[in-house]
Amino acid sequence: MLIPTILCMLRIVDPCQVMMTPACGPTLQVMWKAANRLQPEVVNLFPDQLEPSFGPPIVLFRNKCDNPLMAKTFAFAFLLGLLLQACSPAPTASPSATDTPLPPTIAAPTQTPFIIVVTAEPTATATAEPVDGALEAILISMPGIASVITSPVTVQGQSRPTFEQNLVVAVYDEFGVLLALTPTTLESPAGSPGNFSTELAFTVASEQPGRISVYETSARDGGVVHLASIEVTLRPSGAAEVVPAEFHFESIQIQFPAANDELSGATLTVSGYSYGTFESNLGLMLCGEGGGGAPNDLCGTEDNKLAAGNAMIDAPNMGQPGSFSGELNYTVTGPVQARIVVFAASPRDGGLLHVSSIPVVLVP
């Protein structure tokens, strides 16, 4: 009996998303792409950024499916093809310069039995699905969630282009009190995405939960346009325990309306796809062209807030990702350059965990 010496690991995340190690072979990748009309996106990530069992870089197939039942059928055919490959002699080939190298800390498997790792997660009937290639607008790469940090802390990541390439980085304590704040700029030409890196000093009397936030503000009203954050532990002194952040797509994707749409009527429906939040709840806000009054984190000032509401995430269980939809009721007497904001708030301190927004035009 033939026992392949390659390590092929496969995970069906849902009927429309498959992750596999490169050892699964080009034939199987082509089969899946043809069956589900998918386009492969090769994401070279280190093992600590994915499940440890997956080892080498992952080939990720991910797209919308027109017919989930058809997708499941093709998934079964794909697994059958995978088993057939296991019964065929593994071809030998000399490595070339184009082969994807394994991370230096991972030893290549030798004489490893054929292993298939398949987990199926329940999917819900939803009005929206995550958009392929919608990368996080502000991705914090270091430190990662659950890191234990000491002062000073270095915050690094990547961001889409912003107004004058500016970002703000902040550290908050367990009660949401601001401990440190500093502006930073992207290391790229104006209008281009780029990396950022900055250092913040803070002081705490005892070890406690905290948060690092990185956000972009509006040049028009000063409100938060986009915000990403990570939950960390703040340590007053001693050794830090920093772990890298995980790669992920945009946490809150606003899919309707589209950016810069012209909208009329007194009721606006906002829908999209979101990561899991506390009690599957999201906040909605509609900001205008500017105003006065008390400060408002999202709209700049309270008088610039045209409407506020909530949206629920439609997911199989609380805290899981899914589609969302909510309504905002507003009144305008003329054309208004506005901004739709969708946000998640912390159940611990009420602070902002994530903010996404899009510009729109409101007409009577």
Cα separations (Å) of 65 from 39, 42, 73, 79, 268? 12, 19, 12, 18, 28
Domains and CATH numbers, the chain: 1-90+102-123 (3.30.70), 138-363 (2.60.40.10)
pLDDT in tens, 326-341: 999 999 999 999 999 9
Helix (H) or strand (E) holding 34: helix 26-36
Bridge partners, residue 183, by sequence: 168
Render pLDDT for 56-67 as a digit per residue (tens, 0 to 9).
333 344 443 444
Q: In the predicted model, is pLDDT for residue 321 greater than 80?
A: yes
Interval 64-86: pLDDT, tens: 344 444 444 445 445 545 544 44
* Average pLDDT of the segment spanning 235-253: 94
Q: Is the pLDDT of residue 259 over 90?
A: yes
- Residue 30: pLDDT over 60: no
Kind plus residue range of the DSSP H or E element containing 27: helix 26-36
For the chain, what's the residue count? 364
Helical (H) or strand (E) element with 285:
strand 281-287
Rounded to whole angstroms, the Cα distance separating 271 from 236 reads 42
Model confidence pLDDT, tens digit, residues 102-133: 333 333 333 333 223 333 333 333 346 666 55
Contact of 184 with 198, CB cutoff 8 Å: yes
